[in-house]
Structure 1
Amino acid sequence: MMSSQSKSAQWAQPESTHPQTGLKVFNTLTNSKAGVPFVPREGNRVSWYGCGPTVYDASHMGHAFNYVSSDIVRRIMEDYLGYDLTMVMNITDIDDKIILRTRHRHLLAQYRAKADALTEQLVADASAALYAYANESFGDLVAARIGSQVASDRDWRAFVAAVDEGRDKAFVASSEKAVMQFDAASAAFRAVGAACLSLADGERSRAAAEALVDGAKDVLAPWLDAQFKESVTDQRLFRDLAAYWEQDFMADMDALNVRRPHVLTRVTEFVDEIVRFVQRIIDNGYAYEAGGSVYFDVEAYDGENGHVYGKLSPQSKDSARLLAEGEGSLAAKNADKHNDRDFALWKNSRPGEPSWPSPWGPGRPGWHIECSVMASEILGQHIDVHTGGVDLKFPHHDNEMAQSEACFDNHQWVNYFLHTGHQHIEGRKMSKSLKNFVTIKDALKLYSARQLRTLFLLTRWSEPLNFSDKTMEEAVSIERTLTSFFANVAALLRDSRRGQQEADAGRQTNGPELELLAALGDAQDQVHCALLDSFDTSSAMRAIQDIVARTTAYLQRGRGTIDPQPVEAVAQYVTKIMRAFGMADDSAARAIGWGSGGGDGGQGAVGREATLLPVATALSDFRDGVRELALAGGDKKALLALCDRLRDQVLPELGIVIDDHGDGRALVKVADPEEIRRARELHEAKEAATRLKKLKEAQLAEEKRRATLEKSKVPPQDMFRSPMCDLYSAWDERGVPTKDKAGEDLSKNSARRLAKEYDAQKKLHDKYLQSLAQS
């Protein structure tokens, strides 16, 4: 049950007689940094709705941070704290961005298919598209700098010169999309120029035509859409695009080890429910029809029957920019709309847009209504947890709450709003518009999913994350430390137990072992408190690092003196937490490390052969090399080189790491070959960067030396006469200026400065003369 709700924006703490875990969470609804007690509505059951992606393009690192961070929170709740979750996530498969992207791709593909030869008309089309794009994208800036619209190549050149090749600060600051738009227009201009040269050379091939279309695609697509959008009538095109990018998104999530939601919903599958939901809001007096569209009446809702609009971000609810962004780029101006703050629940579809039947005419759902309907259809009229990125607070999530509470006539549709923080790339907020953008697939080419998750664990889910070389270096280092720890523990435990059962049985636990167990207890307390404090994984990871470091130090005592029991206890606990964080496989309860750690995966002899044959082949090749050396009377140096090659090149490719120890014995560890390859490539890249840095420093030093040499050749009496003779009109007997160009005496400060420069040049020139005399 829930305590009584006051008729204000005051958040009501849920109540329950069920035993609680002590978890506190940062709840955006309370507008407080302090965590509030987390209390599910129904015992141990938690209903959770997560805002899914709008699928029209490749997923990026912002998506990764949002969904992996939410996955970490979910896993802690499910696997560590023991809540029974029901998680729903939506896929927005109809939206203004999807409509525009579909039309652009379809019309551009049609246009390209018809371009079977390069013609003057193609060049004219691309030029017209460029000028239209430039004037639409930054028309005011164009007018301010060249005094007119872009209407010719000369105008475009003048504009480019005026903004200093895109580095003009006012230009960049004029719009978040300015740089991206400028790059698109510049690419089109270069493509047009290349096409003109091709025509002049008589080159009219299809390849030349396609090169022009491809180079100018970003300006051609909106130009074609403006003319022919009404011709796109096949609704399957929109669904096909969304389905492609949905599959791509889910593949990225699988690669990042993000658990699938229990229920995955798509907007296009809930249109009938959306229509009924909108009608109920109208019936309750909080929405109205206007020109075939339906709008939420903010003024009628805000303050009526205790309802409050803009709970999450009250300071933003009058922002014209955010309101416009929430309505989408295809939003039509409607003279019958009551208020600028009113937002669309149902949009009247225009030609070139998908549509569904409704009591108000053919149309499509508004953006915000979809989440309200899909969440409520699956989870009911009250939801425990709602997650999403912080950029969705207003208007999306505030509008979700308003229309849901207007429909159900309640005052707390969601009890806990958990918003993940912004992501920054090298200190700047990630933005496609500023080319400050990394796709998940590109990130996974450089780092493993576990290394990326380590980065996210080092930052609170609710705080901004900086994705940079420096932060990733820290994450990679921590992940490798843990990997090495697991491998060392497994190898040393195996080695210590081999043939030493009697010694192990007789060993007594003493001071170092008791200290290690005490440290483990402290780490467990610290991790537990951190996770109850709104899933503070950064503090939990520090505690894990500390106990790993303590255990690693204990292992340095030597294999003959360690007690495997406390070491195994630490490793099992660290594995348990890593599994709860989604870092380790969901394997056997007592397994240690990242993987499942045993068995052949049910592959039988075929699996064993696939695993063992490459190793056996490598060892056979090594044996052949040793035999050849022995038969040929080879020296020790050649034999050691063979051993080093086996250790450094051959076995790492097979996932086997051999660490030489000072006692002459080696420690054998098994690792992921891909991780070994990445580590080697990263090491080689760092060495290459160091060599390049030294080379550049040497080049700069050489350039400085040559510049100093050239300067030293100038006699001091000549340094102020040429080529700066027009700066002065009189000099003393040494050649130091005494009067400026107008014949006025130089100031005392200027005279002293010039005299110092003369003295320095004299010393430099004297050294040069001495070097000549000595050579």
Structure 2
Amino acid sequence: MYEIKLYNTLTRKIEEFKPVSPGFVKMYVCGPTVYDYNHIGHGRVYVVYDALKRYFALRGYHVIHVMNITDIDDKIINRANREKRDWREVAETYTRDYLESLRKLNVKVDLHPRVTEHIKEIIEFIQTLIDKGYAYIAPSGSVYFEVDKYPEYGELSGRTNKELWSQEKEFISEKKKPYDFALWKAWKPGEPYWEAPWGRGRPGWHIECSVMSSRYLGKQFDIHGGGTDLIFPHHENERAQSEAAFGVKPWVKYWVHTGMVMMGSEKMSKSLGNIIPLREAFKEWGPETLRLWYLTSHYRRPLVFTEESIKQTQKYYERLVSVTNTIKKLSREAVGLHRMNDEDLKILDKLLEIRSRFHEALSNDFNTPQALAVISEFMTLVFKEIQYNPKYMLVLTAYKLLREFNIVLGVLDKYLAETPEELETLLDNVINIVVDIRRELRERKLYDLADRIRAELGKHGIILMDRGKETTWMRRK
């Protein structure tokens, strides 16, 4: 099996993946600041790291996936003031939208720590930086990280010119250097605050992720993810303050970043007003199509939105569903043999080669477009050869491959249900549909067809009970 390799933003190289703890992958991904609805640019980040996690799991790793929720921030406060709402209500509204987006995209995150539930740990972290001489308290009560105390600053982003480091310009007058960044923001009238040894206030943006990632993944972990727009200043600042506090280098072994979703030549962003909310995209194209679309471009490259590209992905998904249903049907019809002929063996070899190239693509810096191209070859093989040669060994191998593909893709779960609970739910849904159709036949006075449906279901232990226009059903024990 191929060694897994990933591009490390810090070293600017594709490196062989070797986790801190053998057999485990600890991954932290920067989550949303919940002040507005999620858009399709956010969705790419959610899906890429979920798919990467799934591939690690397929390869036998135990993965811990943490993604934070920033529920206190300038943007949340500003929206609350603008709409005359409580800031907590604003945060909760858009947190629900975020979690619903994950559910529809079939993204499963192990832990969602919220900033407001980790204030104590944030204060302790800042105090550590003050005690070690990396941070200082301004007259206002704000606390800043002194960038000059950390010599490696700029290595992650490649910004070696200090003139490019200036940030939080509205506070430059109280900072030692324009590029020092806030760990704690002093309270302003009308804003929420927490008590700290140096005065009332709230956390700066960058300190949140350092605290929550290290709390749940330890002082050194494997993967830190997020969009390329976070490399500077967010991830640069996280790295500086964390390595300063822990005295551990590297704090993160692999910095893995996703490219932006683009509208033409511009990044999709709320500030530019060129966004498509996820909730609208779900209605227009469906969550499965969107999830697949995010994987059609290599994760490090920009993904350009066009309706044509979405439609092409939709056709790909429909074909994938069709091949799934075909394989499931063939599995019920497959012929068991004591011997396979030469043609059968050639098809089997093709299936095994497809599996090998699928893993080769994903092992080599998680090349999902190449993996999707390999799956296209698989679908062609099923439709052109296996469909007309349903030997048990071939059908079984194809079915196993399809399940393996879906562990990463995550778009065929409802078609590949196998557990008793899943099959029970699927059967119930089908019976309900048949009962609804029979009700309509009775309303049209097509009683012969209605009676035939009732009789056929009865042969399989499904008993229908009519009461007026309503019908209920039960299974015969």
The TM-score with structure 2 as length reference comes to: 0.87
1:465 deviation in Å? 0.9
Q: Mark the CA change 1:453 to 1:316 in structure 2 (over 3 Å): closer, same or farther.
A: farther
CA distance in 2, matches of 1:244, 1:371: 22
1:38 deviation in Å? 0.7
* Matching residue within 366, 381, 385 for 1:535: 366
Residue by residue over 1:121-143, the C-alpha shift from the partner in whole angstroms, topping out at 9 and shown as x without a partner, is xxxxxxxxxxxxxxxxxxxxxxx
Structure 2 alignment gaps of length 5 or more:
450-477
Aligned residue runs from structure 1 range 468-487, under 5 A: 468-487=306-325
* Matching residue within 342, 360, 385 for 2:180: 342
Give the aligned partner of residue 72 of structure 1.
Answer: 51
Q: Mark the CA change 1:422 to 1:604 in structure 2 (over 3 Å): closer, same or farther.
A: closer
CA distance in 2, matches of 1:37, 1:283: 37
Q: CA contact under 8 A between 2:337 and 2:392: conserved in structure 1?
A: no
Equivalenced residue count is: 448
Give the aligned partner of residue 57 of structure 1.
Answer: 36
Q: CA contact under 8 A between 1:382 and 1:414: conserved in structure 2?
A: yes
Is residue 89 of structure 1 aligned with residue 67 of structure 2? yes
1:335 deviation in Å? 2.6
1:555 deviation in Å? 4.6
Give the aligned partner of residue 468 of structure 2.
Answer: none
**Paired residue type of 1:544:** I
* Matching residue within 100, 103, 124 for 1:276: 124
Name the SS of the counterpart of 1:49 in structure 2.
strand
Is residue 285 of structure 1 aligned with residue 133 of structure 2? yes
CA distance in 2, matches of 1:354, 1:104: 15
Q: CA contact under 8 A between 2:192 and 2:201: conserved in structure 1?
A: yes
Cα RMSD between the aligned structures? 2.7
Give the aligned partner of residue 48 of structure 1.
Answer: 27
CA distance in 2, matches of 1:516, 1:436: 48
Q: Greater RCO between the two (CA within 8 Å, min separation 6)?
A: 2
**Paired residue type of 1:286:** Y
Q: Mark the CA change 1:399 to 1:61 in structure 2 (over 3 Å): closer, same or farther.
A: same
Name the SS of the counterpart of 1:315 in structure 2.
coil
CA distance in 2, matches of 1:474, 1:453: 13
Q: CA contact under 8 A between 1:424 and 1:467: conserved in structure 2?
A: yes
Give the aligned partner of residue 6 of structure 2.
Answer: 25
Q: Mark the CA change 1:486 to 1:618 in structure 2 (over 3 Å): closer, same or farther.
A: farther
CA distance in 1, matches of 2:301, 2:405: 22
Name the SS of the counterpart of 1:552 in structure 2.
helix
Q: Mark the CA change 1:520 to 1:452 in structure 2 (over 3 Å): closer, same or farther.
A: same
Name the SS of the counterpart of 1:314 in structure 2.
coil
Q: CA contact under 8 A between 1:422 and 1:463: conserved in structure 2?
A: yes
* Matching residue within 437, 445, 451 for 2:275: 437
1:344 deviation in Å? 0.7
CA distance in 2, matches of 1:553, 1:513: 13
CA distance in 2, matches of 1:595, 1:506: 27
CA distance in 2, matches of 1:273, 1:69: 29
CA distance in 1, matches of 2:95, 2:161: 31
Q: CA contact under 8 A between 2:336 and 2:391: conserved in structure 1?
A: no
Give the aligned partner of residue 566 of structure 1.
Answer: 394
Give the aligned partner of residue 292 of structure 2.
Answer: 454
Give the aligned partner of residue 510 of structure 1.
Answer: 341
Q: CA contact under 8 A between 1:424 and 1:430: conserved in structure 2?
A: yes
CA distance in 2, matches of 1:293, 1:46: 36
Q: CA contact under 8 A between 2:330 and 2:395: conserved in structure 1?
A: no
1:622 deviation in Å? 9.1
Q: Mark the CA change 1:605 to 1:530 in structure 2 (over 3 Å): closer, same or farther.
A: closer
**Paired residue type of 1:368:** H
Q: Mark the CA change 1:623 to 1:485 in structure 2 (over 3 Å): closer, same or farther.
A: farther
Name the SS of the counterpart of 1:482 in structure 2.
helix
* Matching residue within 345, 352, 358 for 1:521: 352
**Larger Rg over CA atoms:** 1
Q: Mark the CA change 1:332 to 1:615 in structure 2 (over 3 Å): closer, same or farther.
A: same
CA distance in 1, matches of 2:428, 2:235: 53
Q: CA contact under 8 A between 2:336 and 2:392: conserved in structure 1?
A: no
Q: CA contact under 8 A between 1:601 and 1:607: conserved in structure 2?
A: no
CA distance in 2, matches of 1:537, 1:428: 24
Q: Mark the CA change 1:456 to 1:485 in structure 2 (over 3 Å): closer, same or farther.
A: same
**Greater percentage in helix:** 1
Q: CA contact under 8 A between 2:52 and 2:408: conserved in structure 1?
A: no
Give the aligned partner of residue 461 of structure 2.
Answer: none
Name the SS of the counterpart of 2:385 in structure 1.
helix
Residue by residue over 1:421-443, the C-alpha shift from the partner in whole angstroms, topping out at 9 and shown as x without a partner, is 11112453212233321011011
Q: CA contact under 8 A between 1:70 and 1:461: conserved in structure 2?
A: no
Structure 1 alignment gaps of length 5 or more:
1-19, 110-236, 303-307, 498-503, 588-592, 628-775
Give the aligned partner of residue 312 of structure 1.
Answer: 156
CA distance in 2, matches of 1:567, 1:389: 40
Residue by residue over 1:532-584, the C-alpha shift from the partner in whole angstroms, topping out at 9 and shown as x without a partner, is 11221111111111021012101564xxx542430332132122211232223
The TM-score with structure 1 as length reference comes to: 0.55
Give the aligned partner of residue 421 of structure 1.
Answer: 259
Residue by residue over 1:676-719, the C-alpha shift from the partner in whole angstroms, topping out at 9 and shown as x without a partner, is xxxxxxxxxxxxxxxxxxxxxxxxxxxxxxxxxxxxxxxxxxxx
Give the aligned partner of residue 98 of structure 2.
Answer: 249
Give the aligned partner of residue 696 of structure 1.
Answer: none
Q: CA contact under 8 A between 1:91 and 1:265: conserved in structure 2?
A: yes
Q: CA contact under 8 A between 1:323 and 1:395: conserved in structure 2?
A: no
* Matching residue within 93, 115, 131 for 1:267: 115
Name the SS of the counterpart of 1:26 in structure 2.
strand
Name the SS of the counterpart of 2:354 in structure 1.
helix
Name the SS of the counterpart of 2:257 in structure 1.
strand
Aligned residue runs from structure 1 range 292-371, under 5 A: 292-302=141-151, 308-315=152-159, 318=162, 323-324=166-167, 327=168, 332-371=170-209
**Paired residue type of 1:401:** R
Name the SS of the counterpart of 1:247 in structure 2.
helix
Residue by residue over 1:82-118, the C-alpha shift from the partner in whole angstroms, topping out at 9 and shown as x without a partner, is 1112222211111111111111110xx7xxxxxxxxx
Is residue 103 of structure 1 aligned with residue 70 of structure 2? no
1:389 deviation in Å? 0.9
1:45 deviation in Å? 1.7
CA distance in 1, matches of 2:371, 2:408: 12
1:39 deviation in Å? 0.7
1:285 deviation in Å? 1.4
Give the aligned partner of residue 614 of structure 1.
Answer: 436
1:57 deviation in Å? 0.4
